[in-house]
């Protein structure tokens, strides 16, 4: 029997329309916009000025704290301006706007496709290189990757769990990455194992990606310490705590991190970025993005430079269908609707989903009928209907007591609610309010 997590979960239509569509390089536009806050933590500090010439791979904004990340130029050209620009969140963020002139890279970056299996750096040098390259979690959380590699005093890492699940409907970027860059991913796994000082890794992949499972098993046949673990298709199996439960059958306590049970979790795209940083001296300047939708003529997977407008990606991939009513950054479950199609692709942009008008409109909210379906599907064991009510009434103390901060925002509750209640929308508001209270309390 295939492994999976035990609490809650759903199985929405997979709609992997772009599965097995080969990676394409997105042509460069005339201009890119690179936000200096593409990660959890403090925005990076800008190092360049208006009118300055930059090259691909040049540091243009440096980490401003322990939880922060460097930002690099993804194109060559001239800094046109530094301005507040609306990003995919709908908020204005300080950004560096660069006009594209040619494609000149720093000489220190190895741009060849030659596989480099020799890991020469020491564990600390690997961690430093990951931090220097500005790598964050590419599964969507955008937590600085080097911080996860720094095991806190008194804790011990026992296993690296690589997230190749990609349980979000429509998205296929990780799947295609494993098919086309599987050997680099496995070297990346070995790099991270060396950094952590351990020798056990598990790559979790849902069973709807049988070709990726077969491919990685072939590559790892001489690596008994790296196990490929097929998983039952179950959303949201890509959540850290759900993946840990599915692969090593351990429960991460409420409010705790995976290291509490000896696990370090990294997304498969993050692992590939670590390979490129350590073996090719390439900072994080691009990522793979799925662009897809039921009416879209060319669902596909693209290698995109950071900062390219989403409108440029849609145009190059086939254009916006006439019946499109909503464009989502990410997938249908955890993604967010865009207010501006010129918002840039960032480190956290895993996909662009074009929703048809028939599917985009929400149905009218009705009264809660106390069916408890939202409770049954919650993978964190929460009571979403109650959290929504407490948020409506601003009962912040009770929200904290009911563990609202444990919500992973998977959207399973809203998806399954027969009364069409926007449970997740309210829970996100509640989490934001409670988070602010908790941070002010610490100060």
Torsion sign over Cα 8, 11, 175, 316: negative
Rounded CA-CA distance 174/248 in Å is 22
Is 371 one of the annotated binding-site residues?
yes
* 3-state secondary structure (DSSP) of residue 298: coil
Is 378 one of the annotated binding-site residues?
yes
The tokens describing 85, both together, are 């620009």
C-alpha 334: how far from its chain's center?
11
Identify whether the C-beta of residue 160 lies closer than 8 Å to the C-beta of residue 259.
no
* 3-state secondary structure (DSSP) of residue 231: strand
Rounded CA-CA distance 240/264 in Å is 9
Rounded CA-CA distance 356/114 in Å is 42
Torsion of CA 380, 192, 113, 19, to 10 degrees: -20
C-alpha distances (whole Å) from 231 to each of 42, 210, 237, 241 are 36, 10, 9, 14
- Provide CB contacts within 8 A for 13, sequence distance 6+: 169
Rounded CA-CA distance 435/347 in Å is 24
The tokens describing 122, both together, are 């020491």
* 3-state secondary structure (DSSP) of residue 426: helix
* 3-state secondary structure (DSSP) of residue 230: strand
Rounded CA-CA distance 203/266 in Å is 10
Identify whether the C-beta of residue 136 lies closer than 8 Å to the C-beta of residue 143.
yes
- Provide CB contacts within 8 A for 128, sequence distance 6+: 146
Is 368 one of the annotated binding-site residues?
yes
Q: Tell me which H or E stretch contains 278.
A: helix 268-280
Tell me which residue of 325, 334, 331, 335 sits closest to 355, measured CA to CA: 325
Tell me which residue of 54, 63, 182, 52 sits closest to 106, measured CA to CA: 54
The tokens describing 242, both together, are 């759900």
Is 304 one of the annotated binding-site residues?
no
C-alpha distances (whole Å) from 110 to each of 87, 185, 282, 405 are 31, 17, 7, 42
Rounded CA-CA distance 430/158 in Å is 35
The tokens describing 239, both together, are 């959540």
Residues marked as binding? 368, 371, 374, 378, 407, 410, 413, 417
User: Which residue positions form the known binding site for [4Fe-4S] cluster?
Assistant: 368, 371, 374, 378, 407, 410, 413, 417
């Amino acid at each position: 029997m295939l492994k999976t997590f035990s609490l809650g979960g759903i199985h929405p239509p997979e709609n992997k329309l772009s599965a097995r569509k080969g990676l394409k390089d997105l042509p460069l536009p005339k201009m890119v916009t690179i936000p200096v806050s593409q990660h959890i933590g403090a925005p990076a500090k800008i190092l360049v000025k208006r009118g300055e010439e930059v090259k691909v791979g040049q540091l243009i904004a440096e980490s401003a704290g322990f939880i922060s990340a460097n930002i690099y130029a993804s194109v060559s050209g001239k800094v046109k301006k530094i301005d507040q620009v609306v990003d995919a969140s709908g908020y204005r963020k300080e950004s560096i706007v660069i006009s594209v002139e040619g494609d000149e890279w720093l000489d220190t970056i190895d741009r060849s496709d030659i596989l480099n299996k020799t890991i020469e750096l020491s564990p600390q040098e690997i961690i430093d290189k990951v931090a220097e390259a500005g790598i964050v979690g590419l599964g969507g959380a955008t937590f600085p990757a080097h911080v996860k590699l720094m095991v806190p005093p008194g804790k011990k890492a026992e296993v690296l769990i690589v997230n190749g699940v990609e349980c979000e409907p429509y998205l296929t970027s990780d799947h295609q990455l494993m098919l086309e860059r599987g050997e680099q991913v496995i070297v990346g796994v070995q790099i991270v194992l060396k950094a952590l000082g351990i020798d056990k890794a598990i790559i979790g992949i849902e069973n709807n990606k049988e070709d990726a499972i077969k491919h990685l098993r072939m590559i790892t046949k001489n690596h008994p310490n790296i196990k490929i673990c097929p998983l039952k298709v179950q959303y949201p199996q890509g959540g850290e705590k759900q993946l840990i439960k599915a692969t090593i059958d351990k429960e991460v306590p409420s409010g705790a991190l995976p290291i509490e049970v000896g696990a370090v979790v990294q997304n498969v795209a993050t692992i590939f970025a670590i390979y490129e940083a350590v073996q090719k001296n390439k900072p994080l300047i691009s990522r793979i993005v799925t662009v897809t939708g039921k009416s879209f003529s060319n669902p596909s997977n693209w290698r995109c430079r950071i900062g390219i407008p989403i409108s440029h990606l849609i145009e190059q991939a086939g254009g916006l269908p006439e019946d499109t009513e909503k464009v989502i950054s990410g997938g249908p479950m955890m993604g967010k609707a865009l207010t501006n199609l010129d918002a840039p692709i960032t480190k956290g942009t895993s996909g662009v989903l074009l929703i048809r008008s028939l599917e985009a409109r929400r149905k009218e909210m009705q009264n809660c009928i106390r069916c408890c379906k939202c409770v049954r599907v919650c993978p964190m064991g929460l009571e979403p209907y109650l959290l929504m009510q407490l948020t409506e009434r601003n009962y912040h103390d009770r929200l904290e007591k009911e563990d609202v901060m444990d919500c992973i925002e998977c959207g399973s509750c809203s998806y399954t609610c027969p009364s069409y209640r926007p449970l997740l929308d309210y829970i996100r508001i509640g989490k934001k309010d409670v988070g602010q209270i908790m941070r002010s309390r610490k100060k």
